[in-house]
Amino acid sequence: MIELHDIRKIYQLGGEEVHALDGVSLTIRDHEFVAIIGASGSGKSTLMNIIGCLDTADEGTYMIDGQEVSDLSERQQSILRNRKIGFIFQQFNLLPKLTAYENVELPLIYQGVSAHERRERVMEALEKVDLAHRVHHRPNQLSGGQQQRVAVARALVTRPTLILADEPTGNLDSHSTKDIMDLLKNLHAQGNTLVLITHDNEIAAQAPRRVRLFDGRIISDSRQDSDSSADGPEHLSDPDHTASADPLSGQTAASENQSEEQPQVSPGSRESSVDRNGGDAQ
């Protein structure tokens, strides 16, 4: 359970104050799949860094599982990142000198897991992302899609409360994008909480809940009815359904989504912002 309340983050840029986040309140329940959408400069990266405990808010409260993050020491925040959050980055951020296996193993090493248990969990994670056959390859011997799958394995090997994916498909071709998205949806179907940060409406449309950021504020928070009704036992029992159905429905979902969002934004000025925002993203 993630609870953000009135989060503000202000940067000083050349003597000018930039409100990267201007009072963001957001609650993400366990097992949810949320896409945070916004153009560059909308504050979505800042939000992701705060949710991931990589950065701290200037104002507001942020609780993970009932724990106020700003009360934690640097060391406790490291432990929290290690145990509760799995990161997936646009740049993959694998250590280039370590093999796929070693990259996935690293968070468990920092956690102090025994060698035997590490071996089991790393292999299990790599099997989940279908990379058990490339265990001893280094990142530069893997394709972009494979590297991102290693990163996914690294994120889920600690069995985190929250998987945080920052533009996970931003550096991938369409085929790998589909692979990764299928994988993420699968993880969600298996009960993981997933926060996906993207500027791409098409990608965002695959999430049952979409939060749109603009100029450091949340301008819309919508749920896709069809998906939220399916967001339960049906998914859990039949993960293949999501994988096969979504690429087809993705396009339609995106257009549905767009029309669905607009009524929620009441002031006219914001409506135009959304349009401009959407235009930027595409």
Partner 1 sequence: MKFSQAGKMAVAAVLSNKLRSFLTMLGIIIGVMAVTLLISLVQGATNTVTESLDDLGGDQLVVSVTNTSKRLTLGEVEALADLDGIDRVSPTLSGRGTARADGNSSDVSITGITASYDAVQGMSLASGRGITQTDVDYRLSICVIGPTVSKDLFGTNADAVGRTLRLSGRDYRIVGVLEEAQETMFGSSNTEIYLPFTNAQRLLSSVNVTNFYVSVSEDASTDDAETALDRAMMAKYGDDDSYSIVNLTDIMDTINDVMATMELLLGAIAGISLLVGGIGIMNIMLVSVTERTREIGIRKAIGAQRTDIIVQFMIESVILSLTGGLIGMVISQGVLTTINTLYPDYHFAITGGTASVALGFSFLVGVIFGIYPANKAAKLKPINALRYE
Does 89 help bind partner 1 (rule: CB under 8 A)?
Answer: yes
Pairwise CA distance, residues 281 & 210, whole Å: 15
Q: Rounded to the nearest whole angstrom, what is the least distance from the CB of residue 87 to partner 1 in the complex? A: 5
Count of positions (residues) in the chain = 282
The three-state (H, E, C) secondary structure of 99-130, written as one string: CHHHHHHHHHHHHCCCHHHHHHHHHHHHHHCC
Consecutive H or E run containing 166? strand 162-166
Does 245 help bind partner 1 (rule: CB under 8 A)?
Answer: no
Does 78 help bind partner 1 (rule: CB under 8 A)?
Answer: yes
Pairwise CA distance, residues 121 & 117, whole Å: 6
Nearer to partner 1, 89 or 214 (CB): 89
# residues near partner 1 by CB under 8 A = 25
Pairwise CA distance, residues 201 & 75, whole Å: 37
Q: How far does Cα 7 stand from its chain's mean position?
A: 18
Residue among 241, 236, 126 at smallest CA distance from 191:
236
Segment interacting with partner 1, rule: CB under 8 A, options 34-42, 79-87, 129-137, 176-184: 79-87
Does 277 help bind partner 1 (rule: CB under 8 A)?
Answer: no
Nearer to partner 1, 83 or 270 (CB): 83
Q: Rounded to the nearest whole angstrom, what is the least distance from the CB of residue 179 to partner 1 in the complex? A: 22
Nearer to partner 1, 75 or 116 (CB): 75
Q: Rounded to the nearest whole angstrom, what is the least distance from the CB of residue 212 to partner 1 in the complex? A: 23
Six token digits for residue 213? 């950021």
- By the 8 A CB rule, do 210 and 38 touch? no
Does 55 help bind partner 1 (rule: CB under 8 A)?
Answer: yes
Among residues 16, 75, 233, 279, the one that binds partner 1 under rule CB under 8 A: 75
Nearer to partner 1, 47 or 265 (CB): 47
Helix (H, G, I), strand (E, B) or coil at 178: helix
Q: Which residues bind partner 1 (CB under 8 A)?
A: 49, 52, 54-55, 74-75, 78-79, 81-83, 87, 89, 93-95, 97, 106-107, 109-112, 154, 158
